[in-house]
Amino acid sequence: MAKIAPFLVHHATPLPSLKLHISPRNTSLHAKHSTPGVRCAVATPTSNTPAVLQDEDAFSFERYMASKAVTVNEALDRAVPPGQPERLSESMRYSLLAGGKRVRPMLAIAACEMVGGDAAAASPVACAVEMVHTMSLIHDDLPCMDDDDLRRGHPTNHVVFGVSTALLAGDALLALSFEHVSRGCAEHGVPADRALRAVAELANAVGASGLAAGQVVDIASEGADVGLATLEYIHVHKTARLLEAAAVCGAIVGGGAEEEIEGIRRYARYVGLLFQVVDDVLDVTRTSEQLGKTAGKDLATDKATYPKLMGVDGARAYAAELVASAEAELDRFDHARTEPLRHLARFIAYRQN
Ligand code: GRG
């Protein structure tokens, strides 16, 4: 039986294997854990969709998400005010404030709160990960990369502002993300050692151990006969690493103990990979209008994806196992505190765009 996730352990902080196994013959996946109720990831919301608790006193994920999204959007708006040169600031704001699910900021804030930190302390890292994410979308859409013209329901940045400005807007967002963490943590009274550690975590996630690595292997793999191990490498680095950094940075600035931070890291690695598996399934099951970006792109460019290598049902089964494994990592924490991160994992599994 081959391991499917060897690269999940190849980060700066090695962790024990995550114990996801896939049979090379039938692609059925055997993870250690199962969660009752998580039956079919990436489903149209039906009675299978995990229900948000209705009890007034109980945790409501919808309310939680909505209120955090407002706070994050306002903070991002303040972080990148209109300025000079006007064209550059317009280009930065165009993509950063174009919507988006704000999953990465949500992870940072929820992880911070889970370890007992104040949501406000997580605001600088939450905004920073969204700036990095937006930079990666702008660059990913460029003609020299994926050459896409639709993102977040709007024409891509380079279509509106031109390639040079789009490139520079991405660069400026990347630089600003680190400035924002450094200054913002100090303003929110986050101890300097935590802020420094968060900066290092984020930088590691962006560079040659993270996004850039995943992207370069992704590009090099175009047209090649890519197997599951390479696919996993690409997505652990290109997609999962930033989600992991978001949650870990939240836990760091929230003052989490070492074992809490590492538990959250393991949770987020599962969730990060889940995010990409779901993304691949949505690419073949939803329309461009529904996604706000070009659907069917992977198929059109003959890219290796989870549905291609496992079939849509196999990818859905894998997604369900990843949710279960992610949630199992939260079992060590006080249950009530884990609600946002549990619901966030399910939200990612059941999202429709
Ligand atoms: C410049 C150092 C440097 C690195 C950039 C371009 C690049 C290297 C990496 C590409 C990373 C990338 C775009 C990965 C795809 C991740 C993904 C599934 C994005 C979609 O995220 P959502 O669904 O988007 O959260 P919204 O719009 O909701 O925020």
Residue nearest to atom 13 of ligand 1 (CA): 137
3-state secondary structure of 223: coil
Lookup: tokens for 207: 């560079």
Residue 324 Cα to ligand 1 midpoint, Å, equals 24
Residue nearest to atom 6 of ligand 1 (CA): 140
Lookup: tokens for 10: 């190849």
Alpha helices by DSSP H, 30-162: 61-79, 86-96, 103-114, 119-141, 157-161
Residue 54 Cα to ligand 1 midpoint, Å, equals 34
Contact 268, 246 (CB under 8 A): yes
How many angstroms separate the CA atoms of 339 and 347, rounded? 12
Mean per-residue pLDDT over the chain, rounded:
85
pLDDT over 80 (residue 44): no
How many angstroms separate the CA atoms of 305 and 226, rounded? 9
Q: CATH topology for 24-47+58-350?
A: Farnesyl Diphosphate Synthase (1.10.600)
For 255-312, write each residue's pLDDT tens digit.
999 999 999 999 999 999 999 999 999 999 998 989 988 888 888 888 889 999 999 9
User: For position 190, what pLDDT does the model report?
Assistant: 97
Tell me which residues have their CB closer than 6 angstroms to ligand 1.
Answer: 100-101, 103, 136-137, 139-140, 145, 152, 206-207, 211-212, 215, 238-239, 276, 279
User: For position 58, what pLDDT does the model report?
Assistant: 64
Domain boundaries, the chain: 24-47+58-350
For 81-124, write each residue's pLDDT tens digit.
999 999 999 999 999 999 899 999 999 999 999 999 999 999 99
pLDDT over 70 (residue 40): no
Residue nearest to atom 15 of ligand 1 (CA): 239
Q: Helices 119-141 and 211-220: crossing angle, nearest 10°?
A: 20
pLDDT over 80 (residue 21): no
